[in-house]
Amino acid sequence: MGNDGGSIPTRRELVKEAARNPTATELKDKQKEHLAHRWATCPVSLRPLMKPVVSDYSGDLYNKDAIIQFLLPAEAISVDKEEYEKFIQGRIKSLKDVVEVLFETEYDEETRSERWICPVTSKALGPNVKAVYLVPCGHAFSHEAIKEMKSEGKCVQCTTPYEERDVVPILPSTEKDKASVMKRIETLRSLGLTHSLKKASGSKKRKANGDSKVEPAAGGADLQDRKPNGDTKSLAGNLSRSSTPQSVTSTPKPSSGIKNAVTASLTARVLEEEEARKRRRRENENISSLYAKKSDGKGTNEGDFMTRGYSIPANARHR
């Protein structure tokens, strides 16, 4: 090479910018972009967050129907539980481990859609505002509003009393907030309580006379509260039978095994969607079976549904 008027570029000419660590501003912008996605999307179903929305002890937000699908038996649904578990990581084993977050909504003229706001400060809750919710009622506020009302100890929306430890940050991003939610759940577990402040399955419950009785342990797909007498039915039976007779086209009635009417109705709707999806799959398989399969190369031709009943010679030629 050479004597042709060309030149060999050096590394300095090819690499315009040397490798460097991102600045604090770039890290902050990236974190805000990640939070904006988490505020708008359910991380397990990858669908837009829509009411009802629930949260676990870590402050993550989910669509309630996605969590119900995760908790249902594997034979009743078609979702991949392993994909869900990659994000949930054992934090949710029953509906006692989540709290429904109640957001105050306001119609936004610019976006022509509803947005979540703090009922005290009227600030839009999202990646730009630090938000929290109260346990057990689930009402969401900005952290600024709760800080000002700390002395009251009651929710301004429903007057339900709460303790200072039960103020859970939504989508915590700082190490301090992440450490606080972990410390809280460890304290609750030592007391035999779940994130929603309900009795954990398998914990001892004392009677008035001082005797103790162990409640039956629940499986990973337990969607109902256990009764003290231990007389419980299987989840499949509870979901298939409603408290009152109903027609096929009527609105699903709450299941007798699920005390919360909204949860029972949502569970029934999830099961109906799964059944409709399976029915469509079976119909597609039945339609595809009408058509002839590819020849196996042996010269035989069984014909399709148009030529069924007629024998076509293998060496027949079109004239």
Whether residue 175 is found in the same domain as residue 61: yes
Whether residue 175 is found in the same domain as residue 263: no
Predicted confidence band of residue 310 (pLDDT cuts 50, 70, 90): low
* In-domain check, residue 105: yes
Give the global pTM.
Answer: 0.62
Whether residue 149 is found in the same domain as residue 276: no
Question: Residue 240: its pLDDT value, please?
Answer: 44
Alpha carbon distance 313, 319 (integer Å): 14
Whether residue 80 is found in the same domain as residue 168: yes
Could you tell me the CA-to-CA distances from 125 to 44, 159, 164, 170, 176 in Å, in that order?
21, 21, 21, 10, 20
Question: Residue 272: its pLDDT value, please?
Answer: 78
Whether residue 72 is found in the same domain as residue 169: yes
Q: What percent of the chain has pLDDT over 90?
A: 39
Average pLDDT over every residue of 17-27: 77
Q: Contact at 8 Å (CB) between 218 and 94?
A: yes
User: Of the candidates 190, 223, 238, which is a domain's last residue?
Assistant: 190
Whether residue 83 is found in the same domain as residue 168: yes
Residue-wise pLDDT for 233-280, tens only, equals: 444 444 444 444 444 444 444 444 566 676 777 777 777 777 777 777
* In-domain check, residue 166: yes
Model confidence at 198: pLDDT above 90: yes
Cis peptide bond upstream of 216, omega within 30: no
**Which residue range(s) make up the domain with 273?**
254-284
Q: Residue 60 sits in a domain of what CATH number?
A: 3.30.40.10
* In-domain check, residue 42: yes
User: Of the candidates 170, 190, 210, which is a domain's last residue?
Assistant: 190
User: Of the candidates 140, 175, 190, which is a domain's last residue?
Assistant: 190
* In-domain check, residue 204: no
Predicted confidence band of residue 112 (pLDDT cuts 50, 70, 90): confident
* In-domain check, residue 84: yes
Predicted confidence band of residue 139 (pLDDT cuts 50, 70, 90): very high
Whether residue 133 is found in the same domain as residue 272: no
Model confidence at 226: pLDDT above 70: no
* Strand partners for 141: 132
* In-domain check, residue 233: no
Whether residue 143 is found in the same domain as residue 259: no
Cβ-Cβ contacts under 8 Å for 209 (sequence gap 6 or more): none
Model confidence at 319: pLDDT above 70: no
Q: Residue 271: which H helix or E strand, with range?
A: helix 261-288
Whether residue 163 is found in the same domain as residue 262: no
Whether residue 157 is found in the same domain as residue 41: yes
Whether residue 60 is found in the same domain as residue 159: yes
Residue-wise pLDDT for 49-72, tens only, equals: 999 999 999 999 999 999 998 898
* In-domain check, residue 89: yes
Whether residue 138 is found in the same domain as residue 274: no
Domain count, the chain: 2
Model confidence at 224: pLDDT above 70: no
More confident site: 28 or 195: 195
Count how many Cα atoms sit within 13 Å of the Cα of residue 228 in the half-sphere of its side chain. Answer: 6
* In-domain check, residue 124: yes
